[in-house]
């Protein structure tokens, strides 16, 4: 078996060698298209990997560095950061619909255990196939074997709903037509004497409803006294199942670049073909060959032209509105004042400490009016479209004229420090732009800011507030571009 696997992997490695890398799919007429400049790269990298902005010190350090290898170094630093784990963990949480109350009804203890499990899996960079196997073959207590929360996160825990969700998450199939739900008919639930603990277990005494199930032209047998999920999961996560691998590779592509090769990333069907099939095929094979190493794939995407392109095109990075959580957290970072979050689910009520970022909440039951306004992922469904990317007038109204936001700007310890330490107008302009937009202002912008300040006879403090307001309202701030 092991020899077979090794030769399998080798076979793929050989195939890959001929295709070299992602960039080769973007070369036209032997020429490599232009890469974005450092300031665009810096912001893109931070937002795409961590969902956070760089501090102005980190931004300056990168922009001022003359190291020719600084982009790759930054990517590696970001991929080793806690912020990466939190941000990607949050994206996983959206997929898995981690939520205390309706419709997932996991309750706070279950939510915490589940979040910790996801975090650990990402921190140890568990191979994707292994992660999915662990998730789908889990049984036991929702507190002690947190992965079983997968089977609890349904308002109606029927085999059809469970199977439908598995098909959607791992195969991008929105409408399962086979009867694979049979594999999940042995799942049972029981409560314990501990508040909200639930045991997910397998009924081994159940008679097999069918001797075999046909999936994708393959007949999978059901044996009595066996956990039938194993049969399905072995098929699902087998390296032969390229669709399984392709869906996750494409999802990572979508998370990082703002558009998938298959769009929407969870709608794989014959009418919705990939924009660059050969590239998707390459990614799939590369992902398998790497041993389903998600971080390695993310790293390869980040270091490629597709991510670092100057002009977006088919299959490359595409400007996209920041997620609600990212906008709210960016405002918290820029002003140094975060929103207050609390969970009203009686277990008992819990209050999140000051400085909590919204990506750290891990529970869609805990929300705020601003998060809802920008459309934080609802976790009602396992669809990527729950990440609201559209911009509406109410969201702009908040940025343009909210007294809450204005108060945060004026009371900001970060900005008031900055005013104290930057005596000249030019220094203020530079520091604000570096803080909000992660770049230095251009000559023309400096002129614009200066004449604005002179015309209106502003103090450095007033100028600082106005500039922060203005930059928070710019489309440059609102988009990962």
Partner 1 sequence: MFKIRIPGIIFFLLIIGSIEAQQAKSVILIYLDGGPSQTDTFDQKPEATRDIYGNYKNVQQTNVPEIVLGEKLPLLSKIADKFSLIRSMTHGFNGHETGHYAMITGDMSGGSVVYPSFGAVISYKLQNSYKGILPPYISLVEANNRFNEGGFLGNSFKSFGTKGAPEKDVFEVEGLVNTLVPADKFKNRINLLAGFETQNKDRMNGVDEVAIQSLRSQNVELISGKLKEVFNLSTETKEMREKYGMNRLGQSCLVARRLVEAGVPVINVRTTGWDTHKVHFPKMNQMLPELDRALWALLTDLDEKGLLQNTIVMCGGEFGRTPRVLWEAPWNGGRGHFSAAFSYLVAGGGFIPGKVIGKTDATGEKVVERKVFPCDLIGTVYKQMGIDPYGTLPHAIEGNLPMLPSLDKSGQSNGLLLELIKK
Q: Which residues of 322-359 are buried (b: 16+ CB within 10 A; e: fewer)?
A: bbbbbbbbbbbbbbebbbebebebeeeeeebeeebbbb
Show the binding pattern over residues 305-344: x = contacts partner 1 (CB under 8 A), - = does not. -----xxx-----xx------------------------x
CA atoms 25, 28, 31, 37: torsion sign: negative
Q: Which is nearer to partner 1, 23 or 471 (CB)?
A: 471
> Interacting stretch for partner 1, rule CB under 8 A, among 98-106, 230-238, 245-253, 275-283?
98-106
CA distance 224 to 217: 23
C-beta separation of 306 from 316 below 8 A? yes
- Size of interface with partner 1, in residues (CB under 8 A): 65
Site for partner 1 in 354-383 (CB under 8 A): 364-365, 367-369, 371-373, 375, 378, 380-381, 383
Q: Does 459 bind partner 1 (CB under 8 A)?
A: no
User: What HEC string does 44-70 produce?
Assistant: HHHHHHHCCCCCHHHHHHHHHCCCCCH
CA distance 138 to 132: 10
In the bound complex, what is the minimum distance in angstroms from residue 398's beta carbon to partner 1? Answer: 5
> Interacting stretch for partner 1, rule CB under 8 A, among 76-84, 235-243, 422-430, 440-448?
440-448
Q: Which is nearer to partner 1, 234 or 456 (CB)?
A: 456
Of 72, 192, 238, 475, the residue at the interface with partner 1 (CB under 8 A) is: 475
In the bound complex, what is the minimum distance in angstroms from residue 323's beta carbon to partner 1? Answer: 12
Q: Does 95 bind partner 1 (CB under 8 A)?
A: no
Q: Does 177 bind partner 1 (CB under 8 A)?
A: no
In the bound complex, what is the minimum distance in angstroms from residue 219's beta carbon to partner 1? Answer: 29
Cβ neighbours of 267 (radius 10 Å): 18
CA distance 57 to 434: 8
Q: Strand pairing of 479-480 and 187-191?
A: unpaired
Of 7, 61, 65, 102, the residue at the interface with partner 1 (CB under 8 A) is: 102
Q: Does 392 bind partner 1 (CB under 8 A)?
A: yes
CA distance 407 to 468: 12
Q: Which is nearer to partner 1, 390 or 424 (CB)?
A: 390
Q: Does 134 bind partner 1 (CB under 8 A)?
A: no
Q: Write out the E strands in 111-175.
A: 140-141
Eight-state DSSP code of residue 99:
-
What number of CA atoms fall less than 13 Å from residue 156's CA on the CB side? 5
Q: Does 470 bind partner 1 (CB under 8 A)?
A: yes
**Residue 368 in tokens:** 């705020």
Interface residue list for partner 1 (CB under 8 A): 101-103, 154-156, 161, 164, 174-175, 310-312, 318-319, 344-345, 364-365, 367-369, 371-373, 375, 378, 380-381, 383, 385, 388, 390-394, 396-398, 400-404, 406-407, 410, 442, 444-445, 448-449, 452, 456, 466, 469-471, 473-476, 479, 481
């Amino acid at each position: 078996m092991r020899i077979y696997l090794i030769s399998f992997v080798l076979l793929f490695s050989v195939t890959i060698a001929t295709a070299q890398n992602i960039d080769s799919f973007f070369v036209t007429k032997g020429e490599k298209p232009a890469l974005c400049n450092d300031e665009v790269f810096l912001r893109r990298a931070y937002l795409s990997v961590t969902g956070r902005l760089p501090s102005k010190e980190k931004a300056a350090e990168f922009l001022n560095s003359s190291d020719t290898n600084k982009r790759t170094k930054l990517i590696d630093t970001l991929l080793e950061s806690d912020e990466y784990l939190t941000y990607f963990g949050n994206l996983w949480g959206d997929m898995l619909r981690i939520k205390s109350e309706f419709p997932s009804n996991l309750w706070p203890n279950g939510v915490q255990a589940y979040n910790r499990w996801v975090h650990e899996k990402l921190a140890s960079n568990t191979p994707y196939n292994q992660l999915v196997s662990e998730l789908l073959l889990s049984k036991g207590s929702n507190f002690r074997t947190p992965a079983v929360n997968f089977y609890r996160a349904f308002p109606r825990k029927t085999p059809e709903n469970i199977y439908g969700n598995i098909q959607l998450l791992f195969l991008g199939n929105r409408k399962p037509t086979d009867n694979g739900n049979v594999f999940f008919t042995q799942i049972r639930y029981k409560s314990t004497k501990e508040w909200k603990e639930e045991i997910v277990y397998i009924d081994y005494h159940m008679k097999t409803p069918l001797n075999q199930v046909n999936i994708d032209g393959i007949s999978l047998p059901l044996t009595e006294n066996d956990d039938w999920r194993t049969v399905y999961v072995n098929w699902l996560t087998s390296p032969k199942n390229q669709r399984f691998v392709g869906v996750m590779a494409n999802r990572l592509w979508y998370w990082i670049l703002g558009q998938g090769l298959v769009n929407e990333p969870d709608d794989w069907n014959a009418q919705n073909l990939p924009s660059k099939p050969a590239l998707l095929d390459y990614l799939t094979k590369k992902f398998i060959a790497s041993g389903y190493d998600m971080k390695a794939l993310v790293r390869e995407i980040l270091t490629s032209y597709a991510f670092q392109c100057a002009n977006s095109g088919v299959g490359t990075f595409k400007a996209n509105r920041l997620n609600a959580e990212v906008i709210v957290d960016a405002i918290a970072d820029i002003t140094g004042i975060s929103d207050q979050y609390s969970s009203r689910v009686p277990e008992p009520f819990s209050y999140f400490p000051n400085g909590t970022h919204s990506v750290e909440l891990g529970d869609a039951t805990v929300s705020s009016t601003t998060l809802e306004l920008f459309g934080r992922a609802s976790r009602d469904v396992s669809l990527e479209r729950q990440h609201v990317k559209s911009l509406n007038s109410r969201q702009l109204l908040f940025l343009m004229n909210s007294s809450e936001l204005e108060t945060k700007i004026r009371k900001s310890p970060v900005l008031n420090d900055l005013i104290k330490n930057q005596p000249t107008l030019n220094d203020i302009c530079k520091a604000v732009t570096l803080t909000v937009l992660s770049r230095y202002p251009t000559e023309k912008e400096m002129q614009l800011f200066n004449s604005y300040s002179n015309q209106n006879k502003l103090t450095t403090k007033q100028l600082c507030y106005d500039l922060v307001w203005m930059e928070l309202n710019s489309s440059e701030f609102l988009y990962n571009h």
